[in-house]
Chain A
Amino acid sequence: METPLTQNIRPGQAPPELKAYERAGGYQALRKALSSMTPQQVIDLVKASNLKGRGGAGFPTGLKWSFMPKDAPEPKYLIANADEMEPGTFKDRYLLEGDPHQLIEGMILAAYAMHADTAYVFMRGEYKRAAQTISHAIAEAYEAGYLGKGILGSDYSLNLYLHLSAGRYMCGEETGLLNALEGKRANPRAKPPFPPVSGVWGKPTTVNNVETLCNVPHIVNNGASWFQALSRSKDGGTKLYGASGKVRRPGLWELPMGTTVREILEEHAGGMREGVRFRGLLPGGASTDFLVEEHLDLPMDFNELQKAASRMGTGTMIVLDDQTCPVGMLWNLEHFFAQESCGWCTPCWSGLSWAERILNALEQGRGQAGDIEKLAFQTKFLAPGNTFCALAPGAAEPLQSGLKYFREDFERHIREQRCPWR
């Protein structure tokens, strides 16, 4: 089984320096693209590969790139979203710390395809080691002529900078990120105009997730059908899947896209720890709907999980066991979302703090008749279309599915006026 994204990563060891990355075939894709492919051909190849965005939304990457206006004057921007703050998600850090040149090569290829002349790695401030790794790799790439003026003797030039943010979940939202990069509060922007038309500083901009960009050199080297063949599903490639919670072996694995939930949970994560039983899981971070026993044989990909009224999200699952209170878990999640709401639109700041207060009251033994209905109302009130960005609809996902699958637990909190797990 091929694992292109993690082939150079040795956990516990320093990441490959430029020379080691080159010896492993690194920057061959960039040489190939600059010497024998037009930018349009790179976009067409990525379209044909069926690569979908790994940040959680699963939007086709090639299509996204094709929205960048070809004839608009420079500057045009490419941004790698390395603001991994989705609770339960730890995949991009692994790529950033483990193989920094893979990301940089992917970014140069993406920028070339979109005629971008400036690129940023937008990274959360807490990722200290990743920041060192990436800034060292950027310096090496400039030194070797992979960045800067006239890359590898071609007439293509690109500047790439690392921007370290200062911690706020909203920065991961595409337009919030653009405001943060401009040195402002990371409030979302109204769309349209979309970033390819008016992005950072009002210029054409594309934002891609780290894992998405890391796939690009491999697609350019090996072709679209090779990439498709890595996958067990309609979405191309491999995927970094992870598991956390009370499983035997929490961790991260690069597996074919479309590996089933059960295989990840039982074979790779080793099943539940001694003494606890499985109750449910959030398949891809805090803002995805719960899956339960009946869903375990579904493939983890963008299409199939939607049929179960959930989303793959980031692909790193958070597992709930029977010794952990589901209401408490939802309180923790909604506390996070209420705190991280930027306060820009009313349903989000008002609705989320209301939901959080009700969940806290349930946990403290002060639940009242009607609380479940109030929470259910909130999930509708926070639905897509009512807010500027996806933060509140994302927050509603675990809550609406939690109310569905763990309703009896909610009722018990109210009936017994206490949390039965305390």
Chain B
Amino acid sequence: MLSPEEREAIEAELPHYPTKQAVSIDAMKIVQKYRGWVSDEALQDIAEFLGMSTSDLDGVATFYNLIFRKPVGRHVAYVCGSVSCWIMGAQRVTEHMTMHCGSTLGEITRDGRFTVLPIVCLGACDHAPVMMVDDDLHLDLTPEKAVEILERYE
């Protein structure tokens, strides 16, 4: 069941578009904001609310990088792996972070605190390598600095 808050937030998006389906991405992001990810059950509820088939909505969900169909940690660290960051040493940053966390890319750390994910260019190439933790962009990383930053997120 969608919660009243989720329902209200999704309804607030509807007047911006001529069709209900147009809010499908917004709706999944709203549910994800409250629950961390989009479960099969949540997918069904959203699809019903929008008058879409569940499989159509799953097709949309799985297309977009920022919709999670699997649970993630309390914080998601997105490490840019695109070309400018790669040139500036992003691979070492990623390796150091996953080693520090004791998890592979996409895996939740044992304490449930983090999921480290690769992401495409974050548009801050003049400060490469970069990463985004939740909503915060972090610039000019070194492997050590990246891990220090992670430690600030409980």
Contact = CB atoms under 8 A, between A and B. Distances in A.
A401 to B, nearest CB: 14
Interface stretch (A14-22, A52-60, A241-249): A241-249
Interface residues of A, number: 56
Size range of the interface on B? Answer: 35 or more
A242 B137 CA distance: 19
A342 interface: yes
A180 interface: yes
A175 to B, nearest CB: 15
A396 B83 CA distance: 15
Contacts of A242: 125-126
A50 interface: no
Given A75-B18, A166-B25, A183-B19, A244 B84 contact: yes
Nearest to B28: A166
A156 to B, nearest CB: 20
Contacts of A124: 123
A242 B124 CA distance: 11
Nearest to B84: A244
Contacts of B81: 332
Contacts, number: 134
Nearest to B132: A126
A318 B87 contact: yes
A242 B123 CA distance: 11
B10 to A, nearest CB: 12
Nearest to A342: B63
Given A167-B66, A168-B65, A342-B63, A180 B25 contact: yes
A183 B23 CA distance: 6
Contact of B29 (A93, A166, A182): A166
Interface stretch (A82-90, A222-230, A300-308): A82-90
28 contacts: A85-B120, A86-B121, A92-B123, A125-B29, A126-B78, A127-B123, A128-B137, A163-B16, A166-B28, A168-B63, A182-B21, A183-B21, A183-B23, A183-B24, A184-B21, A184-B60, A185-B59, A244-B88, A244-B126, A244-B128, A250-B127, A286-B83, A286-B121, A316-B125, A320-B87, A329-B86, A329-B87, A332-B82
Interface of B: 16-19, 21-26, 28-29, 59-60, 63-67, 78, 81-84, 86-88, 119-128, 132, 135-137
